[in-house]
Amino acid sequence: MSNTTADPGPRSAGDDAILPDAVLPDLASLDVPKVPGGPKAFVGRSPGQLAWIRLKRDRVALASAVILVVAMIVALSAPLVQRLTGISPTDQFTDQLTDFGALPVGYLGGISGKHLLGLEPGLGRDILMQLVYGLRTSLFIAFAAAAISTTIGVLVGVVAGYARGWLDGVINWVIDLALAFPFLIFALAAIPVVENRFFTARDTIPASFRVGMIIATFAVFNWTNTARLVRGQVISLREREFVEAARASGAGTAHILLRQLLPNIWAPILVTVSLNVPAFITAEAALAFIGIGVTEPTPDLGRMIYNSISYISADPMYTFLPGITIFLLVLAFNLFGDSLRDALDPKSSR
């Protein structure tokens, strides 16, 4: 996916490996005498708990988490919003468009008591409802794609990092291939081909199939970043003493991968996921620009922005509203991801 840098491997700062359990002293087991009336008892906490405490204390994280939760609630309860306003996202209020040019009548793109965010030019659909349902589409695709691509990436990265030799080499080559192939072109070419295989000429392709195809395409291209990251972590971890110790005591490969390595890399993976989701939101909107986005009449933020390009000077609200929505969403995710990273990394300097 272009214009976002490939996730750096073991060479960038800020992605320091999280110390594994075995190195931090287990404070809970220390026998500390309690002084009556003195300072509070010393309580031991796991890194996870420490991270959670740090996160809770971070006001920025709290604010961005609130925005995200609100967005998800709005997206999930879209039908409820529809019942409240009485307007469906596909209703066309063409009588409130001018005859010449089909622009919404009134101020700021037709904002009124009935249409809080105005109307679309051309088709006259309510922008608020389009945003609410579009949010739903975007969030669904982003989360699903993030989940799938992260899972694939983790599995492949762990295998590549641990296996060494030719398997590692092959996986590296495949990752290079996936990075070198232009993602948008592939999506543009491949999605219609697959759709044609599954549907006859007369069938209408349900929007859910297109959504599924988009998720699949994202997953196919984006597991590489996670895989690289995980591979780097595994490489730096596999020579540690605790892995050697496990191997010496007869642990099989599966045990080492699942019980020793995986629990120590969950932190950077979590951060990656939280930064992948906004990237997918952005990319899904970008698909509309080459005509391979979510199809009409399913509301979609990207398609709204693309259609609004020609109206930019006549009805700027039509561009701003979906654009600001995506911006705020991505900003909230980025802030939360940053705070998460800071909370999880004990060496981070604020």
Partner 1 sequence: MVRFVIRRLLLAVTTLFAISVITFLLFFAVPSSPAQVMCGKNCSPEQVTATEHRLGIDRPIVEQYGTFIKGVFVGRTIGSGDFVRQCPAPCLGYSFRTDEPVTEILKRTVPVTVSIVIGAAVMWLVIGVSLGMTSALRRGTLFDRVAIGVSLVGASLQVYFFGLVLLLALVYSTGWLPAPSYTPFTENPGKWALGLLLPWITLGFLNSALYARLSRAQMLETLSEDFVRTARAKGLPKRTVYLRHALRAAITPLVTIAGLDIGASLGGTVITESIFGLQGLGRVSVQAVNDLNLPIVLATVLLSAVFIVAANIIVDVLYAVVDPRVRLG
Partner 2 sequence: MRLKIGAVGVGALSVALIASGCSKTTNDGGSDEKADSKVQAGAISYDAADNKGPAPAVDGATKGGTFGVFLPDGFEHLDPARNYVNTQQLAALLMGRSLAGYREDGKGNLKVIGDLATDPGTDVNKDCKTWQFKIREGVKYEDGSAVTAADVAYGVARSFSGDLSEGPHYIQSWLADSDDYNKTYKGPYNGGGDLPPGVTVPDAQTIVFTFAKPHCDMPYAATLATTTPIPKAKDTKTEYDRHPFSSGPYKIKSYQIGNSMVLERNTNWDPNTDPLRTAYPDGYNFTFTLQADQIAERLVADAPADQAYMAWANVPPAQLPKTTTAGVKERVSQGPSQFVWYYGINTQRIKDVNVRRALNYALDKDAVLKSIGGTAAGDIATTLLSPTVAGYQKYDVFNAPATGDVAKVKELLGTTTPPPLVLAYANTPRRAAQAEAARKSFEAAGFKITTKSIDPTNYYTEIGRKDNPYDLYLAGWGSDWPDAGTVIPPLFDGRKITPTGNNNWSYFNDDTVNAEIDRIQGLPDAAARQAGWAALDQKIMKDFAPVIPVNYDKDYMLHGSKAGNVFLSDAYGYPGLTNVFVKQ
Q: By CB under 8 A, which span of 36-44, 64-72, 255-263, 288-296 interacts with partner 2?
A: 288-296
Positions in the binding site for partner 1 (CB under 8 A): 1-3, 5-6, 8, 11-14, 173, 176-177, 179-186, 188-190, 192-193, 196, 278, 282, 285-286, 289-291, 305-306, 308-309, 312-313, 316, 319-320, 323-324, 326-327, 330-331, 334-335, 338, 349
Q: Which does 349 bind (CB under 5 to 8 A by kind): partner 1, partner 2, none?
A: partner 1
**121-150: contacts with partner 2 (CB under 8 A):** 121-124
Cα(121)–Cα(96) distance, integer angstroms: 10
Q: By CB under 8 A, which span of 31-39, 75-83, 87-95, 142-150 interacts with partner 2?
A: 87-95
Write out the E strands in 143-300: none
The distance of closest approach from Cβ of residue 293 to partner 1 in the complex, given in angstroms and rounded to an integer, is: 12
* Binding-residue pattern over the window 184 to 223 for partner 2, x denoting contact by CB under 8 A: --------x-------xxxxxx------------------
* ∠ CA 134-135-136, rounded to 5°: 90
Our CB check for partner 2 shows the closer of 60 and 314 to be: 314
Q: How many CB atoms lie within 10 A of CB 73?
A: 10
Q: Which does 331 bind (CB under 5 to 8 A by kind): partner 1, partner 2, none?
A: partner 1
Residue 296 burial by Cβ neighbours in a 10 Å radius (0-12, 13-18, 19+): exposed
Our CB check for partner 1 shows the closer of 89 and 322 to be: 322
In the block, tokens 């979510």 appear at: 294
Chain Cα centroid distance, residue 40:
41
**Residues contacting 109, CB < 8 A, separation 6+:** 117, 118, 119, 121, 127, 315, 316, 317, 318
The distance of closest approach from Cβ of residue 140 to partner 2 in the complex, given in angstroms and rounded to an integer, is: 21
The helix or strand, by DSSP H or E, that contains position 34, with its residue range, turns out to be: none
* Binding-residue pattern over the window 88 to 107 for partner 2, x denoting contact by CB under 8 A: --xxx-x--xxxxxxxxxxx
In the block, tokens 């409130």 appear at: 96
**Residues contacting 93, CB < 8 A, separation 6+:** 115, 119, 124, 125, 126
Which residues bind to partner 2, rule: CB under 8 A? 90-92, 94, 97-110, 121-124, 192, 200-205, 291, 295-297, 303, 306-307, 310-317
